[in-house]
Amino acid sequence: MSMGFSVNRFLAVLLKEFIQMRRDRVTFAMMIGLPIIQLMLFGFAINADPRHLPTLVEVNDEGPLTRALLAGMQTSGYFDFVGQVRGPAAGEEALRRGQANFVIVIPDDFARDVVRGLRPTVLVAADASDPSAVAGAAAAMSGIVSNAMAQTLTGPLAQAAGTPAPFEVVVHREYNPEGRTSTNIVPGLLAIILSMTMVMITAVAIVKERERGTMEMLISTPVRPAEVMLGKILPYVLVGYVQTAVFMVAAFAVFNVPFTGTFMAFFYGFNLFVLGNLALGFLISTLAHNQMQAMQLSFFTILPSILLSGFMFPFAGMPGWAQTLGTGVPATHFIRLIRKVMLKGAGTIDVSAELVALGVIVLVISLMAMLRYRQTLD
């Protein structure tokens, strides 16, 4: 009889794990369904720069200049014109009731005053009860107005358009010219989804064996620890691949997130990250006594991945101690890596710092897990 690693036994554990995975419909549905649901939720719901805000107009001077201005606003994507109002009271009422986020007032003799250089005021009344909701649109407003003027006031009227506009605001968004939040959120979301499923499912899969008593039977057989570990973890690596594939397709097809970097840079980082999460799950399973504890411990590791990794809030904006903590979180490095690769066109060399950091974290967690793992029930 052989005392070394047996491929047959390892394959037996692997096969058993797949059968159990298939039979546990709820978990299986969770593994495939959860990433999609989260993608839709976070990708669509979290938006720091919302568009298509309902807008009302009060037009007191019809003419080409007004039409140009309104057309410019419409095409900016921020404003959806839902109707016209008469008089300031009606506009105020609509805002208060939440029927519109904006009311645009074009003053009397607007075109004539512009031509005369009197610099009339276009009033934009915004519902600022949710400041972030209208901030982007408000910021874009001044640019739209001056553009519209420049286009309409041509020929002899050009000098009127040339006067310096006091409300000129420069918005310059690097790598994400349209300022869409989803471009920023979606790549990072992959890190969160992988953290959640990989850590939790690995931890629970192993603790479940102990809780149900099957671990006692398993280790009373000649099976070796490496056979159990690999046999149990590998199916979930595959699940991670499937999740990522589903995710990437959705990111391209639904959210138009670009992938400008090299695939290998992503591939290395992705595998290291998955490995790190599985090792973390394994480590948790050596600490938790039952499935409930495993879930809770997993959840605790996921919160820092969301809050300290730069996924939700800019990393540079955090205080020093939080940045130190965040540096120990694998998701921090993977989020940096994937944003660099997808949005900034990075190659393997450009992400070497992140790869090294991930490698170190994987090594440390794996060592800790190996030290904690017992082949006996001691």
Which positions lie near other proteins, rule CB under 8 A?
1-3, 6, 8-9, 11-12, 16, 19-20, 23-24, 212-214, 216-224, 376-378
Rounded Cα distance, 149 and 69, in Å: 7
Q: Which is nearer to other proteins, 1 or 253 (CB)?
A: 1
Rounded Cα distance, 363 and 291, in Å: 25
Residue 258's region, left for phi above 0, alpha for psi from -120 to 50, else beta, is: beta
CB of 218 to other proteins, least distance (A): 8
CB of 292 to other proteins, least distance (A): 19
How many other C-beta atoms can be found within 10 angstroms of the C-beta atom of residue 321? 8
Helix (H, G, I), strand (E, B) or coil at 318: coil
The amino acid at 189:
L
Rounded Cα distance, 262 and 348, in Å: 7
For helices 131-152 and 64-76, the axis angle rounded to 10 degrees is 140
Q: Which is nearer to other proteins, 96 or 212 (CB)?
A: 212
Q: Which is nearer to other proteins, 154 or 220 (CB)?
A: 220
CB of 352 to other proteins, least distance (A): 42
Rounded Cα distance, 193 and 362, in Å: 18
Dihedral pair phi/psi, residue 371, rounded to 5°: -70, -35
Q: Which is nearer to other proteins, 229 or 351 (CB)?
A: 229
CB of 22 to other proteins, least distance (A): 10
- CB contact at 8 A, 377 and 216: yes
CB of 283 to other proteins, least distance (A): 22
Q: Which is nearer to other proteins, 18 or 315 (CB)?
A: 18
Q: Which is nearer to other proteins, 18 or 259 (CB)?
A: 18
Structure letter (DSSP) for residue 60: S
Q: Which is nearer to other proteins, 48 or 217 (CB)?
A: 217
Rounded Cα distance, 162 and 158, in Å: 6
Rounded Cα distance, 201 and 35, in Å: 14
CB of 24 to other proteins, least distance (A): 7
Q: Which is nearer to other proteins, 49 or 227 (CB)?
A: 227
Q: Which is nearer to other proteins, 169 or 217 (CB)?
A: 217
CB of 238 to other proteins, least distance (A): 19
* Alpha helix (H) residue ranges in 58-173: 64-76, 87-97, 110-115, 131-152, 158-162
Q: Which is nearer to other proteins, 205 or 308 (CB)?
A: 205
- CB contact at 8 A, 252 and 218: no
Compute and round to an integer the Cα radius of gyration of the chain. Answer: 28
- In DSSP notation, 260-273 reads -S-HHHHHHHHHHH
Dihedral pair phi/psi, residue 300, rounded to 5°: -65, -30
